[in-house]
Amino acid sequence: MNDLKKNVTKVMIVFLFLFIALISYIAYFQVFKAYDIAHKQGNRIVWAQRNSVLRGTIYDRNMNPLTKSVRTGPLSQKVEYPYGGIFAHPIGYMSERFGVTGLEGTFDKQLSTYNSTRTDLKTLINNFSWQNLKDMFFQRNNKSNQVGNSVVTTLDTKVQEAVVKAFGNHKGGAVAIDPKTGQVLAMVSMPTFNPNDLAAEMARANKIEQENKNLPDPGSPLVNRAINGLFPPGSTFKIVTTTSALNNIPGVGSEIFHDTGEIKFPDGQVLHNNDYEVDGNIDLRRAFVLSSNVVFGTLAMQLQNPKLRQTAEMFGFNEQIPAIGFAMTPSQFPKYDSWQIGLIAQSGIGQAGVLASPMQMALVAGTVANNGVMMEPKLVNKIINQQGQTVQSFSNQEYRRVMSQSDAATIKSYMTSLVENNMAGGYWSFFKGYDVAAKTGTATHDGKAPDSWLEGFAPANDPKIAFAVCVEDAGYGAGAASDVAGAMLHAFFNNKPPQ
Q: What is the pLDDT of residues 97-156, one digit of tens each?
A: 999 999 999 999 999 999 764 555 555 566 666 665 555 555 555 555 799 999 999 999
319-320-322 Cα angle (round to 5):
135
459 and 341, same structural domain?
Answer: yes
CATH of the domain at 429: 3.40.710.10
Q: Which domain holds residue 116?
A: 46-153
Is the CB of residue 184 less than 8 Å from the CB of residue 154?
yes
Amino acid identity for residue 497 in this structure:
P
397 and 303, same structural domain?
Answer: yes
pLDDT confidence of residue 37 = 44
233 and 258, same structural domain?
Answer: yes
Whether residue 447 lies inside any domain: the answer is yes
pLDDT confidence of residue 268 = 85
164 and 147, same structural domain?
Answer: no
242 and 100, same structural domain?
Answer: no
Whether residue 479 lies inside any domain: the answer is yes
292 and 178, same structural domain?
Answer: yes
Length of the chain, in residues? 499
Number of domains the chain is built from: 2
pLDDT digits (tens, 9 = 90+) for 353-363: 999 999 999 99
pLDDT confidence of residue 35 = 47
- pLDDT score of 283 more than 90: yes
CB count within 10 Å of CB 253 equals 15
Whether residue 128 lies inside any domain: the answer is yes
Whether residue 264 lies inside any domain: the answer is yes
Whether residue 38 lies inside any domain: the answer is no
- Of the three residues 120, 153, 186, the one that is the final residue of a domain is 153
352 and 210, same structural domain?
Answer: yes
Order of all β-strands in the sheet with 390-393: 58-59, 150-153, 380-384, 390-393
58 and 193, same structural domain?
Answer: no
- Of the three residues 105, 125, 153, the one that is the final residue of a domain is 153
132 and 226, same structural domain?
Answer: no
445 and 407, same structural domain?
Answer: yes
116 and 103, same structural domain?
Answer: yes
Burial per residue of 427-460, b for 16 or more beta-carbon CB atoms within 10 angstroms, e otherwise? ebebbeebbbbbbbbbbebeeeebbbbbbbbbbb
pLDDT digits (tens, 9 = 90+) for 160-214: 999 999 999 999 999 999 999 999 999 999 999 999 999 999 998 888 777 776 6
**pTM of the predicted model as reported, rounded to 2 decimal places:** 0.86
Whether residue 13 lies inside any domain: the answer is no
Whether residue 381 lies inside any domain: the answer is yes
321 and 261, same structural domain?
Answer: yes
- Of the three residues 112, 135, 153, the one that is the final residue of a domain is 153
Provide the pLDDT confidence category of residue 224 given band limits of 50, 70 and 90.
very high
Q: In angstroms, what CA-CA distances link 333 with 240, 342, 387?
A: 11, 15, 47
Nearest CA-CA partner of 305 in 274, 355, 276, 343: 343
pLDDT confidence of residue 410 = 98
Strand partners, 186: 176
CATH of the domain at 123: 3.90.1310.10
pLDDT digits (tens, 9 = 90+) for 11-64: 677 667 777 766 766 655 555 544 454 545 555 555 666 788 999 999 999 999
Whether residue 284 lies inside any domain: the answer is yes
